[in-house]
Amino acid sequence: MKRILSTLAILVPLAGQAVPANIAVEGFGFEMAEMQEGAVAFLNRTYVWKNVPAELRGWQFTKTSGGIHPTLKVTAKTAGEVYFAVALARGSGSPGLLGWQAVRGLRFRYTAGDEPTLRVFRRQVESGEILDIEQLGWTGSIVLAPSLTATVIEPVPDHSKVPGVVINHRPAYTHDYIGCPAIEILRPGVYVASHTSFGNGPSRGKLRLFQSDDAGRTWRQLALLPHIHFASLFLRSGDLYLMGVYKEGVAVLRSGDEGVTWTEPIDENTGLVLPSTRAHSAAVPVVHHNGRLWRAMEDSQAGGGWPRHFRAFMMSAPEDADLLRADAWTCSNRLRSVPTWLGRESKGWLEGNAVVTPNGAIVNILRVDSWEGGKAAVITHSPDGREATFDPVTGFVDFPGGGKKFTIRHDPVSKRYWSLTNAIDESTRAGREAGGVRNNLVLISSADLTHWTTKRTVISNPDAFKHGFQYVDWQFEGNDIVAVSRTSCDDGIGGARNHHDANYFTFHRVSDFRE
C-alpha cells in the first residue's frame, strides 16, 4: 500500500549552489515535516531543531525515529542537487558518504544532551536518477528538499527467519515493542497467550490476548486490555485470571469466557488489590500450595535507580477466596538487595518466582542483575506468607541465565524443576553485560533448586545485538513444554531495533523435554 503525504513546488537555490533537484521520496519509517527553528526533530523524541540556517528554513525533511533507521529511496524529478543531513562522530567517515560532498557552513543541531551537530551533504543528480539513501548514525540520514513528493509504502515483512510460530509482529518503525509474554493451557491443545507493549507506539501500556485451538499452529486475537502489564495468566475453578501491574498498583482480572471479556479493576472490591505501590514484576508463576495461591512481586521504592530500587515481596491468598477483593491478599515484608553482598557484581534483584521447595517451603527465586550473570537469589517465606528472610551467605545460587528473567516450574513426573533461560554463549557475548545477552535460549533442570544442569539449547543466534529470545513463559503439556517468547529477530524490513526492543511474539514447543 502506498500513501502520498504531500507535494510541494518550491525551488529555492542555496547561496552559491546549484538549484536543488525536485525529488520524490519513497519508503517507510518516516513522515514529512517542515524544517524550522524549534520544530520537533524526531518521531520518537521531543528534541527540536536548533540553529537552523536561514537557507534551510521552510524546506521539507524526512522526520524519522532516532535510533531506528527508515528505508528511503529518492527519485530526481528534475536535474539538480539532492541533500541529506546526518550527525556523525567527529572525524568519522562512512562508505555511505562516498559520492557526497559536505556543504560548507550548513550545520544545525538538535536539543539532546550535548546538542549533536548535523552536517549537510549534497550530490548532483540527473533527472530520473534513483538513489538509495544509506542510513548513518543515530539520527539516520535525513533527506532535505524545498520540493518533494513523499510516498510511504507499507512494507511486507518476511517471517521466514523467525523461530517458532509468529503470534504477533510489530515492526520497529511502529515503536510498539513486544513485552512480558505469558501462556496458559485451557485444555489439551487449546492455549491462551498474552503480551504487553512498551515504547512510544500506539499500543503502549496495553495487553493483547490471543488464543490457539490447534496446539499452537495458528492464533487469533481475543482481547485488547488497557493499563495492565507485567501480568501472569492462571486458572482457578474454571475461570481465567490475569494478575499483574495495573497503572502503579497490583490488580487481578477475571474472565468467565476464556479470555473474551474481563472484569475491570476499579477499587479494592473489583480487582485493585494493592493500589499505588509502584509495583513491578513479569509473567511469573502463580503457585497453588497448602490451600493458598502464591505470587512474587516487587515494588520500586527503595531508591538508587534501576535495578537497585526494587524490593521483593510475596503475595498470597486462600485458594477459595474472592481473588478480586484486596482483603483476600496477604503481603510479606519487602526486602531490597545490597550491592556489597556480591561485591561489585550485584546491582539488584527482580522478577521473582514463587516456588515450592522439595521440603514443602515457599521461596522466591529472583533474577540477579550483575555484569557476569549466572546467579539467582533465593528468599525464604513463612508458611503464612507474612515473613520474608534472606541470608546473603547461602541465598545466592549458581543459575545459568540468572541475569535475565526466567520462569521455574516443578514437574511431578520427573520430580525435577525446569526453566528456559538465556544462558550466555561466551563466543557471541562480545563483551556485553549479562543482562544484555539474550540470543541463546536453553533448557535447564534441577532436583534441588541449587544445582542446575543445562539439558539442551532450544534457540540460538550468533548475533547478540539485534536478536533475543527472552522473558519466556511456559507450561508443561504431557511430554512437551509449550512456551511463548518476546523475540527480536530479522523481519525483512530492518529487524528489531535491538535485542531488547522485540518485534515478535512467538510460540515454541520443546518436544520430549525430559529426554
| pLDDT of the residue at 11 | 42
> What secondary structure letter does DSSP report for 157?
-
- Summarize pLDDT for 469-508 with one digit per residue, the tens: 999 999 999 999 999 999 999 999 989 999 999 999 999 9
Whole-angstrom distance, CA of residue 181 vs CA of residue 290 = 28
pLDDT of amino acid 190: 99
Place of cell 501500556: 205
Residue 13: is its pLDDT beyond 60? Answer: no
∠ CA 433-439-441, rounded to 5°: 110
> Which runs of consecutive H residues, i.e. helices, occur in 55-204?
none
Encode pLDDT of 264-294 as tens digits: 999 999 999 999 889 999 999 999 999 999 9
List the Cα angle 66/72/76 in 5-degree steps.
135
pLDDT above 70 coverage of the chain, percent: 95
pTM: 0.83
Mean pLDDT over 207-217 rounds to 98
Dist CA 84 CA 76 (whole Å): 14
Residue 2 clears pLDDT 70, i.e. is over it: no
Asked if pLDDT for residue 12 goes beyond 50, the answer is no
Q: pLDDT tens-digit profile of 123-147?
A: 999 999 999 999 999 999 999 999 8
Predicted pLDDT at 17: 55
First to last CA, the chain: 48
Please give the pLDDT value at position 97.
82
Residue 468 is predicted with a pLDDT of: 98
Q: Which amino acid makes up residue 184?
A: E
**Per-residue confidence (pLDDT) for residue 147, from 0 to 100:** 80
Q: What is the pLDDT of residue 504?
A: 99
Reported as a single tens digit per residue, the pLDDT across 162-203 is 999 999 999 998 889 999 999 999 999 999 999 999 998 889
Asked whether residue 463 carries a pLDDT value surpassing 70, the answer given is yes
Tell me the pLDDT band of 3, cut-offs 50, 70 and 90.
low
pLDDT at 78 over 80: yes
Burial 166-199 (b: 16+ CB within 10 A, else e): bbbbbbbbbbbbbbbbbbbebeeeebbbbbbbbb
What is the DSSP track for 45-88? Answer: ---BEES--GGGTT-EEEE-BTTB--EEEEEESSSEEEEEEE--
3-state secondary structure 214-265: CCCCCCEEEEEEECEEEEEEEEECCEEEEEEEECCEEEEEEECCCCCCCCCC
Domain boundary assignment for the chain: 2-153, 165-510
* pLDDT at position 153: 87
Alpha-carbon distance of 183 to 220, in angstroms, equals 14
Q: Is the pLDDT of residue 7 over 50?
A: no
Are 314 and 332 within 8 A, CB to CB?
A: yes
10 contacts: CB under 8 Å, gap ≥ 6: 58, 146, 147
Average pLDDT, the chain: 93
Residue 93 binned pLDDT confidence (cut-offs 50, 70, 90): low
Write down the H helix ranges in 257-381: none
Of the pLDDT bands very low, low, confident and very high (cuts 50, 70, 90), residue 322 is very high
Query: What fold does the segment set 165-510 form as a domain?
Result: Neuraminidase (2.120.10)
